[in-house]
Structure 1
Amino acid sequence: MIQNPSDDARREILQNAKTIAVVGCSNKPERTSYMIAEALQQAGYRVIPVNPTIAGETVLGEEVVGSLADIHEPVDIVNVFRRSEQVMPVAEDAVKIKPKVLWMQQGIVNEEAAQLAKQNGIEVVMDRCIKVDHAILVPR
C-alpha cells in the first residue's frame, strides 16, 4: 500500500508548486472542486481547470481544458476530483505530462493509479484535501 509523503514533504510540495491542474473542476461555485480551485488560486497558484464536459468555458478566469493532454505548459500538481474508480485514466494522462505530484482529494483512493504514477517518477498523495493541507502546512 502506498504511503503518503510526510507533513514536511507535503509542505515542500505545496511551497514549490506553481501550477495546479484541477481534474473534475466544476463551473458551479457551490461545488467543492470549484471552492478548492478558487482557494488555491487565492493562495497564489495558477489553476488550470480540467473538465471535458465544460471544456472551452471559463472558470475562475481560466479556460477549461478537456483533458491533461490539452495542457501545454509544465504542471506541478494534478489535483484529482474524480471517483476512486475513475482515477486510472487520469493517472495515465498524468504520466504523459509528467507533473511532480498526483494528488487525490479526500475520500479518493486508487492504489493501482498511485502505483502507475510512482513507477513513472510522480509523487503521490491520496485521500487528503489539498486546501486543508495548505492551510495547515504552509504558513502565510
Structure 2
Amino acid sequence: MDWKQNLVEDDAGVREVLANSRRVAVLGIRSESSAHKPAYAVPHYLQGHGYDIVPVSVHGEKGPILGQPVYTAVADVPGAVDVVEVFRRAEDIDGHVADLLAKKPRAVWFQLGIRNDAAAEKLARAGIRVVQDRCMKVERMKLEQEQAGSASV
C-alpha cells in the first residue's frame, strides 16, 4: 500500500478515524486549571461523548487529569491506543515521533493549526493514519450532526 493513503485529508477519512476510535491518548493535555485551553477542553468534550481519554503530559502536570492517571510518554500507556491526539507546536512534534512509532497507534491526530508534514510522512510510512490541522471536537460535532440528520430522514 502506498504510504500516502495513510494521510487523511478528506472528510470521509476523518469520519472513519473517529468512528473506529474509542481510546484516545492526548499528548500535551492540560490540567483542569487550564480548562479554558483547547488542550483541556477538547479531551473533556470527547470524554463526555464516550471516548476513553488517556492523558500524556509534556508540561509537568501531575495526575489525575479527567479522572485518569497521567503518563509522561505515549509508549508508557498500557494497552492499545486507537488515536493519539497531539497538542504540541508543529516544531515540537519531531521530538515525539520515536515515542509515537514505539506505541504504533492506529492514528495520530494533529490538532487544528498544527501541521508537520515530515513527521506525518514518517508516521504514515509506518502504517499509522495521520490527520493534520483539524479539531477533533469540531469533527466529532460534525459527525453527530450528520448522524442526527440521517436519523431524522
TM-score grouping bracket, smaller chain normalisation: over 0.9
RMSD over aligned CA atoms reads 1.4
- Does the 8 A contact of 1:22 with 1:49 survive in 2? yes
Q: CA deviation at 1:5?
A: 3.3
Of 79, 91, 95, 1:73 maps to 79
Hey, what does 1:8 align to over in structure 2? 12
Of 108, 112, 115, 1:102 maps to 108
Q: TM-score of the superposition, structure 1-length normalised?
A: 0.92
C-alpha distance after superposition, 1:71-106 (max 9, x if no partner): 011000000000000011222211111101110001
Amino acid at match of 1:8: A
SS of 2:13 mapped into structure 1: helix
Runs in 1 of length 4+ with deviation above 3 angstroms? 2-5
Q: Does 1:54 align with 2:58?
A: no
- Does the 8 A contact of 1:7 with 1:137 survive in 2? no
- Does the 8 A contact of 1:100 with 1:123 survive in 2? yes
Q: CA deviation at 1:115?
A: 0.6
Larger Rg: 2
- The percentage of aligned residue pairs carrying the same residue is 35
Of 10, 23, 30, 1:19 maps to 23
Aligned equivalents of 1:91 and 1:78: distance in 2?
A: 11
Q: Does 1:131 align with 2:133?
A: no
How many pairs does the alignment contain? 138
Hey, what does 2:41 align to over in structure 1? 35
Q: Unpaired segments of 5 or more residues in structure 1?
A: none
SS of 2:8 mapped into structure 1: coil
Aligned equivalents of 1:23 and 1:49: distance in 2?
A: 7
- Does the 8 A contact of 1:19 with 1:76 survive in 2? yes
SS of 2:108 mapped into structure 1: strand
Q: CA deviation at 1:137?
A: 2.1
Q: CA deviation at 1:62?
A: 0.5
SS of 1:108 mapped into structure 2: coil
